[in-house]
């Protein structure tokens, strides 16, 4: 139990020093700039900005004169960066944004097709159905993937025609390649299917214009996180070119899922949007270069990196099948060596997901990916002493404590 402020400070200091010595390859994390972090401590963290979807100027609380201006200016900025006519920034997470989309669009007993957890989906509708009311009223099926971890477009077209879902949700936490949104648009129009895109992981790449914008490809709605490959504060957003959908989803989002939407993250999100307008393309290009270089370097050292026939990846992450070397969760072993990444045992063989957003922001380039691949080999293939490797990791990351692509 904390007894004094100093107790809190001491643990936060330990955390900061610990993470400074780790090689962070968690694809869903990033490191925001000092200016973005500074806005999180503004007075807005004490305030309420509740408003109606149809009229954001209709505020439930008084004292919102400048809060309204901040929110509307940030909304305009988000629409500019993500290319949508309408935006809603009230979701306090990408997952909540997705829930609002699902609950706002579906009528009882209608079907959704999404990416399964076994295929590195975000776990949106599937886990929602664990709540008994949703389990009884929402049906779900899962799209198929080919041997290179890309969505099987022909199989999905067949599913859409046969099952006639109300909603198809593209995107997941292991996205390696652009999804076939454009290929599904004609079928969606023919059968009245709404196409949604969960951009949580590739938001930064879309903002940097190095990954196809789903709205331009034919998606009706895009939602996601404001962190991960996007280097902003944790939170969520929804954008669309359809007013009917943004209003229906917004009315579902608030007040049923969120009332106070954590206003202090809004100016922080605005600052990160401005950073992406300034540096996003350069940042995105380097992220993909790093991902590809890391995939090639790990392949060279004997790892089975997925997606090889398609160039491994076009995003901020790679997927590696480590079943040949691991009979237990490799993430814990790597963590002892101060290498942080995600692992998954839900499929036929254990995999690790390795992301490049934070190391790219720290200034690492393709040459550094070769050394990182060697660290993975030493831990998972050569079975070297992780305590020895952790010292090498600390020495390596000590050279990269600055932040690039930021104000």
Which CATH entry fits the domain spanning 280-397: 2.40.160.20, 3.40.190.10, 3.30.1330.10, 3.90.1150.10?
3.90.1150.10
pLDDT band with cut points at 50, 70 and 90 for residue 274: very high
- Residue with the two structure tokens 């002493």: 385
Distance, in Å, from the CA atom of 91 to the CA atom of 87, rounded to the nearest integer, reads 11
Read off the DSSP letter of residue 106.
Answer: P
How confident is the model at residue 211, as a pLDDT? Answer: 98
pLDDT band with cut points at 50, 70 and 90 for residue 195: very high
Name 391's Cβ contacts closer than 8 Å, sequence gap at least 6: none
34-272 in CATH: which number?
A: 3.40.640.10
φ, ψ at 107 (rounded to 5°): -95, 160
pLDDT tens readout for residues 396-405: 999 999 999 9
Distance, in Å, from the CA atom of 227 to the CA atom of 137, rounded to the nearest integer, reads 31
Name 79's Cβ contacts closer than 8 Å, sequence gap at least 6: 85, 86, 87, 239
Q: Please state the pTM of the whole predicted model.
A: 0.96
What percent of the chain is predicted at pLDDT more than 90? 95
Sign of CA dihedral 225, 226, 227, 231: positive
Mean residue pLDDT of the chain comes to 96
What percent of the chain is predicted at pLDDT more than 70? 100
pLDDT band with cut points at 50, 70 and 90 for residue 326: confident
Q: Which of 365, 358, 304 is nearest to 330 (CA)?
A: 304
Alpha helices in 31-167 (DSSP H): 34-39, 65-82, 94-105, 125-128, 132-137, 153-163
Average pLDDT over residues 55-79: 96
Task: Decide: residue 137, CB within 10 A, 0-12 exposed, 13-18 middle, 19+ buried.
Answer: middle
How confident is the model at residue 348, as a pLDDT? Answer: 72
How confident is the model at residue 349, as a pLDDT? Answer: 84
Residue 71, both tokens: 């929110």
How confident is the model at residue 328, as a pLDDT? Answer: 76
Residue 182, both tokens: 């454009």
Q: How far is CA 357 from the centre of its chain?
A: 11
| Lowest mean pLDDT segment, chosen from 34-48, 198-212, 345-359, 369-383 | 345-359
Q: Which of 390, 313, 404 is nearest to 362 (CA)?
A: 404
- If one compares 70 and 348, the residue with the highest pLDDT of the two is 70
Is the pLDDT score of 347 beyond 80?
A: no
How confident is the model at residue 122, as a pLDDT? Answer: 86
How confident is the model at residue 329, as a pLDDT? Answer: 80
How confident is the model at residue 378, as a pLDDT? Answer: 98
- Where exactly does CATH 3.90.1150.10 map onto the chain? 280-397
Distance, in Å, from the CA atom of 53 to the CA atom of 252, rounded to the nearest integer, reads 9
- Residue with the two structure tokens 């490959």: 229
Is the pLDDT score of 137 beyond 90?
A: yes
- Where exactly does CATH 3.40.640.10 map onto the chain? 34-272
Average pLDDT over residues 303-313: 97
pLDDT tens readout for residues 198-235: 999 999 999 999 999 999 999 999 999 999 999 999 99
Sign of CA dihedral 290, 295, 298, 300: negative
Average pLDDT over residues 168-184: 97
Annotate 299-368 with DSSP letters as a single string. HHTT-EETTGGGTS-SSSEEEEE-TTT-SS-HHHHHHHTTEE-EEE-SSSS-EEEEE-HHHHHTT--HHH
Please name the helix (run of DSSP H) or strand (run of DSSP E) that holds residue 270, with its range, or none.
Answer: helix 265-300
Read off the DSSP letter of residue 121.
Answer: -
Assign residue 363 a region (left: φ > 0; alpha: ψ between -120 and 50; beta: otherwise).
left
Q: Would you report the helix, strand and coil content of the chain in percent, each value rounded to 5? A: 45, 15, 40
| Lowest mean pLDDT segment, chosen from 24-33, 36-45, 288-297, 322-331 | 322-331
Q: How far is CA 338 from the centre of its chain?
A: 23
Alpha helices in 129-226 (DSSP H): 132-137, 153-163, 181-191, 203-207, 214-217
pLDDT tens readout for residues 277-297: 999 999 999 999 999 999 999
- If one compares 347 and 54, the residue with the highest pLDDT of the two is 54
């Amino acid at each position: 139990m904390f007894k004094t402020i100093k107790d809190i400070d001491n643990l936060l200091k330990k955390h900061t020093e610990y993470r400074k010595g780790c090689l962070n390859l968690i694809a869903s994390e990033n490191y925001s700039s000092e200016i973005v972090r500074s806005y999180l401590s503004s007075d807005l963290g004490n305030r309420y900005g509740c408003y109606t979807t149809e009229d954001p100027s209709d505020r439930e609380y008084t004292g919102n004169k400048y809060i309204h201006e901040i929110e509307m200016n940030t909304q305009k900025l988000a629409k500019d960066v993500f290319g949508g006519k309408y935006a809603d920034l009230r979701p306090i997470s990408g997952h909540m944004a997705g829930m609002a989309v699902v609950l706002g669009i579906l009528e009882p007993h209608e079907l959704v097709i999404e990416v399964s957890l076994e295929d590195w989906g975000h776990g949106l509708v599937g886990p929602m159905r664990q709540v008994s009311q949703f389990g009884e009223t929402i049906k779900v099926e899962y799209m198929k993937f080919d041997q290179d971890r890309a969505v099987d477009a022909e199989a999905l077209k067949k599913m859409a025609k046969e099952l006639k879902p109300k909603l198809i949700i593209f995107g997941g936490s292991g996205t390696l390649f652009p999804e076939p949104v454009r290929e599904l648009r004609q079928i969606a129009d023919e059968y009245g299917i709404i196409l949604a895109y969960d951009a949580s992981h590739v938001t930064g790449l879309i903002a940097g214009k190095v990954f196809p914008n789903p709205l331009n490809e034919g998606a009706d709605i895009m939602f996601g996180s404001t962190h991960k490959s996007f280097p902003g504060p944790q939170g969520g957003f929804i954008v669309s070119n359809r007013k009917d959908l943004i209003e229906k989803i917004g009315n579902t989002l608030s007040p049923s899922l969120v009332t106070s939407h954590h206003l202090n993250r809004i100016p922080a999100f605005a600052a990160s949007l401005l950073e992406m307008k300034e540096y996003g393309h350069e940042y995105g290009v380097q992220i993909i270069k790093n991902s590809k270089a890391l995939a090639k370097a790990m392949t060279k050292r004997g790892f089975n990196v997925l997606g090889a026939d398609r160039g491994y990846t076009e995003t901020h992450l790679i997927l590696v099948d480590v079943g040949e070397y691991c009979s237990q969760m490799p993430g814990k072993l790597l963590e002892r060596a101060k290498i942080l990444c995600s692992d998954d045992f839900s499929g036929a063989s254990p995999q690790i997901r390795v992301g490049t957003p934070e190391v790219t922001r720290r200034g690492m380039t393709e040459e550094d990916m070769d050394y990182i691949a060697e660290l993975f080999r030493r831990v998972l293939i050569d079975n070297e002493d992780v305590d020895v490797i952790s010292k090498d990791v600390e020495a390596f990351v000590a050279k990269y404590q600055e932040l690039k692509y930021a104000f």
